[in-house]
A and B are shown apart, each in its own frame.
Chain A
Amino acid sequence: MTEVVEAGPSLRGARLRLSAALWRRPWLKAAGLLALPVLAFLVVYVGSLAALFVSSFWQVDAFTGKVVHDWTLDNFSTIIHDSVYRQIILRTILMAAAVTLTDAVLAFPLAFFMARIAPRRLRLVLFVLVLLPLWSSYLVRIYSWRLILAKNGALNWALNSIGLPDAGLAYTNTAMWIVFSYVWLPFMILPVYAALERIPQNYLEASGDLGARGWRTFRSVILPLALPGVIAGSIFTFSLTLGDFITPALVGGGKHNFIGNVVEEQIGINGNVPFAAALASVPVLVMGIYLVVAKRLGAFEAL
């Protein structure tokens, strides 16, 4: 502060003039504040997406493995016409839908209990428990699931000890469904909790005063008000499942490819970035449609 004073009246004058100019022109202030984040957003976020989309129209020279910058729709036509890619896309979307549904069903009662029933101390404990898995690496948790589901793993050991046969879940679609539902569950619980917590208590009382029983109150008051939260959570679980390649690779046994796996293989093994880019546009498109539908249902009011 003293330094500024010592710098003399000229500097102070400049500061005052700048501040006055900013006061007189609010748009200049806004532009100054937003320039950096907007630039980063456009270059890093939108720019990389644009680069992805542009490169999906290129091709790879099979001999040298280099990218050839000739414009072609071949990559997209392969994706549309080759049944294996249709199957992979369908499998990925169905898995994302199944995981989202499972997480919604699991998260709702827990979030309701946390938001409206649990005393403060218990609520805190539950919060910590919900977030606890996120403190450890995602990879570690997937590997531990592999150990649980393995033939000589914890699950079969527990089943055998009560006289049941092996579950035989290792490297199956069911295994992937379980692991996906597990890893993304916190992302569903938190928005649903936020939505449920915001419902005013007197709405429920009013519903009761008007003669509605528990189920009717749930259906007509709680569910409609919590739905945006569920949809917000479903955006997370759906998009995270749609883009994942680690769980299918580690838990799925390599037999059930997802969009993410094929993208990873095309880049990692084949060096075919254009085809990978074309395939990576599919989840972008699917999420775009999903978000439009979610917006119609008012999901963004709960974010």
Chain B
Amino acid sequence: MKNAHRRLLSWGAAALLVGALAAVAAGCGSSGESKSSATTTTGGTPANTPSSIGKGEGKLNLIEWPYYSDPAFAKKFTQQTGCVIQRKDAGSSNQMVALMRAGGGGGGGQWDLVSASGDASLRLIRGGDVKPVNVNLIPSWQNFIPIFKSPAHNTVDGVHYGVSLQWGPNVLLYNNQKVKPGPTQWGALYDSKYKGQITIPNNPIQIADAAFYLMHSNPSLGITDPYELNKTQFDATVKLLKQQRKLVKLYWNYDTDGRAAFANGDVSIGAIWPVDTLALQAKKVPVTEVIPKDGATGWADTWMLAKKAPHPNCAYLWMKYVTTPQVQAQQALIFGETPVNPKACPFMNTIQAGSCAKYHLNEPLNYYNTIKFWKTPIADCGNGKNDCMDYNDWQTAWTQITG
């Protein structure tokens, strides 16, 4: 009798297990199908974008770098449009992509806009998570610095997937008490003189920084764009980074970690962002920031429209609002970044004298040739040979480098 019970229970358990696995398999299958259908509907052609902005829907859901909808300027937007903002702070580009891909992709029908940086934006476009935007509805777009109107990181085949917002360089930062004389070139980050004192970002896109350095220090490699590397160029860059690993104290995941390492004295030289320089200087840490003469890599952020945005009108109203000169100036000074709308210059100087020049907003156009903006590496890099290393290769190599 007892054995019979046991057998029955085990059969029941087995039946349940099979049922559960079937349910899982069915779930996987259906989600896979919905994903692939999402890919096919996003074409390269300018899909139906609205010709005018309708009345706001009363709500706007944003995935953003922390405080990209700072109440200092977002409050006024809500008063003007009635769109109440719900924000979700993301700590990294990857978290942004992950959030946009959750719930079946395209923002899951929950998110309207994402403030993607250049290393995330092409991934979102290729993945079909964002949709085309009609830039004619954003009046300030006409005034943008030309390179930010249709940059490669948010515009594909002439189709815009969002509007540029702000940008900043990746800077060379050093502790001016410990590093004397101060470095002036990126080569310092590969110099064994600073062994055990260096910090750099823990991000595959960092390979571009090394490629950028090689572009100037080793012209025979023929690198013209640090995000478009063929096998030879890529291998040379990875080799350099593997040597650099021996010198690196910390690969920072969040810029605040790198900041803490400077403040605690663990590192004295590294690659980081201007916002961290400002924060460290405010805490009286003796650091100096340099943008070497050769230039730098940089990031540029874009408000991108989620494919399944539930409040598109509020989203357009927001893109229109944050690109106006006054708001551009406010946001730039809160984050220590540079507007894409040069009309913001006088407003910046009103808030903080000399800040327009400090953040390079008044530079001539050829200045931007020295800044290589983040973009997701892809195999088809425009030379017709399809021989560039793609982001997957970059990620794999980055694991090899950091070990």
A contacts, CB < 8 Å to B: 26-27, 30-31, 34, 38-39, 42-43, 46-47, 50-51, 54-55, 60, 62-67, 69, 84, 87-88, 146-147, 150-153, 170-171, 249-250, 253-257, 262, 265-272
Instruction: Report the bound CA distance from A146 to B266 in whole Å.
Output: 11
In the complex formed, the residue of B with least CB distance to A67 is B32
Q: Which of B239-269 contact A (CB under 8 A)?
A: 245, 248-253, 257, 260-261, 264-266
Contacts of A267 in B (CB 8 A): 98
B92 on interface, CB distance cutoff 8 Å: yes
Decide if A150 touches B20 in the complex (CB within 8 Å).
no
B5 near A46: Cβ-Cβ < 8 Å: no
Determine the chain A residues whose CB is within 8 A of the CB of B261 once the complex forms.
Answer: 150
Question: A26's closest neighbor in chain B, by CB?
Answer: B5
Q: How far is the CA of A170 from the CA of B264 in the complex (A)?
A: 10
Q: Beyond A152-B264, A254-B253, list 13 extra A-B contacts (CB 8 Å).
A: A26-B5, A27-B5, A38-B16, A43-B20, A54-B24, A63-B390, A66-B35, A66-B127, A146-B260, A171-B250, A268-B92, A269-B395, A271-B97
CB distance from A272 to the nearest CB of B (A): 7
Inter-chain CA distance A15–B40, complex, in Å, is 58
- Shortest Cβ distance from A165 into chain B, in angstroms? 15
Question: Looking at chain B's contact residues, is the secondary structure mostly helix, strand, loop, or mixed?
Answer: helix
Q: Does B399 lie within 8 Å of A51, measured CB to CB?
A: no
Name the one of B8, B9, B126, B402 contacting A64, with C-beta atoms under 8 angstroms: B126
The bracket for how many chain B residues form the interface is 35 or more
- Is there a chain A Cβ closer than 8 Å to B72's Cβ? no
Whether the Cβ atoms of A84 and B400 lie closer than 8 Å is: yes
Q: Closest 10 CB pairs between A and B? A: A254-B251, A150-B264, A151-B265, A152-B265, A270-B395, A253-B250, A254-B202, A62-B392, A268-B94, A269-B94
Say yes or no for B168: interface residue by CB 8 A criterion.
no
B9 close to A150 (CB less than 8 A): no
Let me know if A150 and B128 touch, CB within 8 A: no
By a CB distance below 8 angstroms, the chain B residues around A146 are 260
For residue B23, CB closer than 8 A to chain A, the reply is yes
Neighbouring A residues of B9 by C-beta, 8 Å: 27, 30-31, 34
Question: CB of B39 within 8 A of chain A?
Answer: yes
Say if the beta carbon of B357 comes within 8 Å of chain A.
Answer: no
Check: B145 CB closer than 8 A to any chain A CB.
no
Is B264 a contact partner of A147 (Cβ separation < 8 A)? yes
Closest-CB distance, A241 to chain B (whole angstroms): 18
> Which of chain A's residues have a CB closer than 8 A to the CB of B260?
146, 150
The verdict on B353 contacting chain A, using a C-beta distance below 8 Å, is no
